[in-house]
Amino acid sequence: MGIICWRLWTTCFQHRNSTGLGISTSERMLGICRGRRKFLAASLTLLFVPAITWIYLFAGSFEDGKPVSLSPLESQPHSPRYTASSQRERESLEVRMREVEEENRALRKQLSLAQSRSPSHRRGNHSKTYSMEEGTGDSESLRAGIVAGNSSECGQQPAVEKCETIHVAIVCAGYNASRDVVTLVKSVLFHRRNPLHFHLIADAIAKQILATLFQTWMVPAVRIDFYDADELKSEVSWIPNKHYSGIYGLMKLVLTKTLPSNLERVIVLDTDITFATDIAELWAVFHKFKGQQVLGLVENQSDWYLGNLWKNHRPWPALGRGYNTGVILLLLDKLRKMKWEQMWRLTAERELMSMLSTSLADQDIFNAVIKQNPFLVYQLPCFWNVQLSDHTRSEQCYRDVSDLKVIHWNSPKKLRVKNKHVEFFRNLYLTFLEYDGNLLRRELFGCPSEADINSENLQKQLSELDEDDMCYEFRRERFTVHRTHLYFLHYEYEHASEDTDVTLVAQLSMDRLQMLEAICKHWEGPISLALYLSDAEAQQFLRYAQGSEVLMSRRNVGYHIVYKEGQFYPVNLLRNVAMKHISTPYMFLSDIDFLPMYGLYEYLRKSVIQLDLANTKKALIVPAFETLRYRLSFPKSKAELLSMLDMGTLFTFRYHVWTKGHAPTNFAKWRTATTPYRVEWEADFEPYVVVRQDCPEYDRRFVGFGWNKVAHIMELDAQEYEFIVLPNAYMIHMPHAPSFDITKFRSNKQYRICLKTLKEEFQQDMSRRYGFAALKYLTAENNS
């Protein structure tokens, strides 16, 4: 052992005095040496302390050159040499022996732990665990933590098990916050190597949006639980709050009461957070909490709580600069035992008597509690919450890009905040904002995922398909789960006093955005749109919409993003998404290339009543026309439209390409009609109709170009809908370049063969579902 200790000491001495090493290498070697010194000190102590102790005890056992027995059985109380002094000495020696044995056991345990955390041990167990520092590769972040007043322990941090679930809580309310949560989650998923369990405290709007998003995202090893934020309002509504987050900005105070009682710890994040590292590194910091530390927080990086930002600025009480609550580590089990609920309530009640309201929501109350109980907080290194607020001092927190762990956009200005390095931070944020979320559906190898019935059913359906089938890609598209973000922009709808309201339903891709403003000008009623976009295109659309006065003035337009995946345009899926999320009892099934006549919204509401659509199965047909001119003086009446028809400025829709699609409308009769009239279904009929909300969905097997509307009208006829043509309604198709899908249909023979196959299979399905009544569809197809 002495030789080993000497070699350890000389190795460390040589490394300490070596030259020519880089900073990071030197510090890394210094860290190894320090670890070896600890190992050496523990070894020496373990060897020499018992030896010295026994020498001392052995020497003390002689009196006048004779041994003194320490056994009670050999003691001689009646001996003249036995005195009270020798009795006390013997008892103190026995106590000392027991203390030395306890110290030896503790030293052996400490030595065992030191060996288990040594680099060689970690390398041997690399497949099972990874440390907090794994993947960073430099010590600059540790120095940054020290600069910020956060001492770091020498050596590696405690490991996080590979398949240990990391719990994250987020408060989210409303449409805009739901978008922010997606970017946050993307940044976490991009870096993560552990299963995640998100606890979302959400209002009804955010729950609807995020539940659909995560259900269609289908990310392995991710679990989502929702907690009703509206039910928690009564817990914090008594606290006046001036912060822009409103009442929801106070709800982190009640997490101990809201989250499951068996949940011991959780990372709490604001929605305006972006991760630049694996969240497991932050989770590992829980192991560093000691004593009564139950809150992990980063110091506030502005002078807000110092009260010197402006004259008469009077902030809530805080310890020094105070702490920012954008990132919080909560030890829930200990907080509950400390009666956290009572603690923060009493503090808030007392401070509100003089402060009257909070300025920074929950952060003010957290800081007031910490001011009174500083032992509660473990100060995180500042790189765990680099705050880009106004008056920030965050530049002192990092020296290099590798130092950054978490970026916090905690200014109301968000990306427009002024900061020396804001361009870099903005680019990092935009990377995740526009990152393809489908790429984050990766498995965590070695970690079993919870059984997901939707995923299992999908795999079963796909396994039943024949990959050698020439139409395999068409069939597969029917089962593809597209990630869907409902209500991408703010949506408001006021229910009409009469249940006659009608929503215009349509779908589009990026190349049809220019139609949105025109449609909004022609149709004042509610609109439900499904947009087929990539993540990057979704952000382009957002900027386009926010820059449009017309679109921003309309709150009754629901924009639902269906994210791109696969090689086909899923036209009927898009229609179904838009149909499913309307707020009215009736809907007008249109296409984005059509402009409805001025006043059509009010005309349809009256027609709904006149034709008793609520109690009958009717499909009201809006006759379709088209123009080949990009600039059109839109007809303001039926008489004006008929005049333009006669002049050749307008035509009945697709009369020169696909006459059968709208021929049953009977345009000749429509010219002179003054009352609604009934028409019969014919093969390939595909009018644009107004129906009740409960009408059947579109068949998803039809993608791209061909038979997508025809199949739906056939389904309506099979369910005995009456087709009624409205005499004073019309819509006009505006010209545009051919879509990619129609180009494929025209140029690709295999595309046309597969479409014919899908048509035949659909007709067979109709026969099975509707029996004898469906035979006419086969007959009509054969005769056409």
Average pLDDT over residues 634-644: 94
**Which has the higher per-residue pLDDT, 561 or 628?**
561
Look at the block and give the residue holding tokens 């200990």: 334
Give the model's pLDDT for residue 767: 87
Asked if residue 527 and residue 592 are part of one domain, the reply reads yes
93 pLDDT above the threshold of 70: no
Asked if residue 505 and residue 374 are part of one domain, the reply reads no
The structure's pTM equals: 0.77
Asked if residue 513 and residue 424 are part of one domain, the reply reads no
Name the residue type at position 264.
Answer: E
Give the model's pLDDT for residue 82: 41
d(CA 575, CA 503): 13
Average pLDDT over residues 643-670: 90
Per the domain annotation, does 19 fall within a domain? no
Give the model's pLDDT for residue 8: 43
Asked if residue 425 and residue 554 are part of one domain, the reply reads no
Per the domain annotation, does 636 fall within a domain? yes
Average pLDDT over residues 546-556: 94
Q: What is the pLDDT of residues 506-519, one digit of tens each?
A: 999 999 999 999 99
Average pLDDT over residues 245-251: 89
Boundary of a domain, candidates 402, 435, 468: 435
CA distances (Å), origin 27, targets 8, 13, 33: 17, 14, 10
Average pLDDT over residues 482-504: 91
Query: What count of Cα atoms within 13 Å lies in the side-chain half-sphere of residue 600?
Result: 33
Boundary of a domain, candidates 367, 401, 435: 435
Q: What is the pLDDT of residues 362-372, one digit of tens each?
A: 999 999 999 99
Asked if residue 513 and residue 365 are part of one domain, the reply reads no
Query: How do strand 386-387 and strand 406-408 relate by DSSP bridges?
Result: parallel
d(CA 339, CA 343): 6
Asked if residue 537 and residue 392 are part of one domain, the reply reads no
Residue of 707, 697, 737 lying closest to 515 (CA atoms): 737
Grade residue 457 by pLDDT with cuts at 50, 70 and 90: confident
Look at the block and give the residue holding tokens 């009670």: 72
Asked if residue 293 and residue 389 are part of one domain, the reply reads yes
Query: What count of Cα atoms within 13 Å lies in the side-chain half-sphere of residue 388?
Result: 24
Q: What is the pLDDT of residues 299-356, one digit of tens each?
A: 988 887 887 766 777 888 899 889 999 999 999 999 999 999 999 999 999 988 888 8
Give the model's pLDDT for residue 765: 87
Q: What is the pLDDT of residues 420-432, one digit of tens each?
A: 667 778 888 888 9
d(CA 248, CA 232): 9
**Domain count of the fold of the chain:** 2
Average pLDDT over residues 622-651: 92
Q: What is the pLDDT of residues 11-40, one digit of tens each?
A: 444 444 444 433 344 444 444 444 555 444
Contact indicator for 172, 178 with CB cutoff of 8 Å:
yes
734 pLDDT above the threshold of 60: yes
Best-predicted range by mean pLDDT among 47-61, 110-124, 369-383? 369-383
Give the model's pLDDT for residue 554: 94
609 pLDDT above the threshold of 70: yes
Region of residue 245 (left: phi > 0; alpha: psi -120 to 50; beta: else)? alpha
Give the model's pLDDT for residue 491: 95
Mapping DSSP to helix (H, G, I), strand (E, B) and coil, where does residue 327 land? strand
**Which has the higher per-residue pLDDT, 150 or 534?**
534
Per the domain annotation, does 47 fall within a domain? no
Give the model's pLDDT for residue 415: 63
Name the residue type at position 188.
Answer: V
Average pLDDT over residues 535-541: 96
**Which has the higher per-residue pLDDT, 483 or 450?**
483
Per the domain annotation, does 758 fall within a domain? yes
Grade residue 497 by pLDDT with cuts at 50, 70 and 90: confident
374 pLDDT above the threshold of 80: yes
For residue 168, what are the β-bridge partners?
198, 267
Give the model's pLDDT for residue 134: 35
Query: Which pairs with CB-CB distance under 8 Å and at least 24 residues apart come from 184-187?
Result: 184/269, 184/271, 184/272, 184/273, 184/274, 184/275, 186/432, 186/433, 186/435, 186/437, 186/440, 187/273, 187/274, 187/275, 187/276, 187/432
Average pLDDT over residues 547-557: 95
* Buried-state track 132-155, b at ≥16 Cβ within 10 A, e below 16: bbbebeebbbbebbeebebeeeeb
232 pLDDT above the threshold of 80: yes
Per the domain annotation, does 442 fall within a domain? no
Please report, in angstroms and rounded to a whole number, the separation of the first and last CA atoms in the chain: 97
487 pLDDT above the threshold of 80: yes
Give the model's pLDDT for residue 4: 43
Average pLDDT over residues 519-537: 96
Helix ranges restricted to H, 598-677: 600-610, 638-647, 667-672
53 pLDDT above the threshold of 50: no
386 pLDDT above the threshold of 50: yes
Give the model's pLDDT for residue 784: 55
Per the domain annotation, does 747 fall within a domain? yes
CA distances (Å), origin 718, targets 233, 245, 617, 623, 678: 49, 52, 11, 22, 16
- How large a percentage of the chain has pLDDT more than 90? 51
655 pLDDT above the threshold of 90: no
Contact indicator for 284, 359 with CB cutoff of 8 Å:
no
Give the model's pLDDT for residue 696: 94
- Structure tokens belonging to residue 475: 């069939």
**Which has the higher per-residue pLDDT, 434 or 735?**
434
**Which has the higher per-residue pLDDT, 535 or 92?**
535
Contact indicator for 727, 673 with CB cutoff of 8 Å:
yes
Give the model's pLDDT for residue 780: 65
How many other β-carbons are positioned within 10 Å of the β-carbon of residue 716?
Answer: 20
Asked if residue 427 and residue 535 are part of one domain, the reply reads no
Query: What count of Cα atoms within 13 Å lies in the side-chain half-sphere of residue 101?
Result: 6
Asked if residue 421 and residue 498 are part of one domain, the reply reads no
Asked if residue 619 and residue 698 are part of one domain, the reply reads yes
Per the domain annotation, does 20 fall within a domain? no
Mean pLDDT of the chain: 80
Q: Which residues touch 275 (CB under 8 Å, ≥6 apart)? A: 184, 187, 188, 190, 191, 405, 406
Best-predicted range by mean pLDDT among 121-135, 207-221, 347-361? 207-221
CATH classification at residue 268: 3.90.550.10
Grade residue 666 by pLDDT with cuts at 50, 70 and 90: very high
137 pLDDT above the threshold of 50: no
Asked if residue 508 and residue 428 are part of one domain, the reply reads no
Best-predicted range by mean pLDDT among 92-101, 466-475, 754-763? 754-763
149 pLDDT above the threshold of 50: no
d(CA 105, CA 112): 11
Residue ranges making up the domain that contains 249: 166-435
CA distances (Å), origin 147, targets 140, 382, 557: 10, 9, 51
Per the domain annotation, does 666 fall within a domain? yes
Residues constituting the chain: 784
Grade residue 777 by pLDDT with cuts at 50, 70 and 90: confident
105 pLDDT above the threshold of 70: no
DSSP string, 91-147: HHHHHHHHHHHHHHHHHHHHHHHHHHTSHHHHHHTTTTEE-TTTTT--SHHHHHHHH
Asked if residue 309 and residue 206 are part of one domain, the reply reads yes
Backbone angles phi, psi at 257, to 5 degrees: -90, -30
**Which has the higher per-residue pLDDT, 660 or 392?**
660
Give the model's pLDDT for residue 416: 64
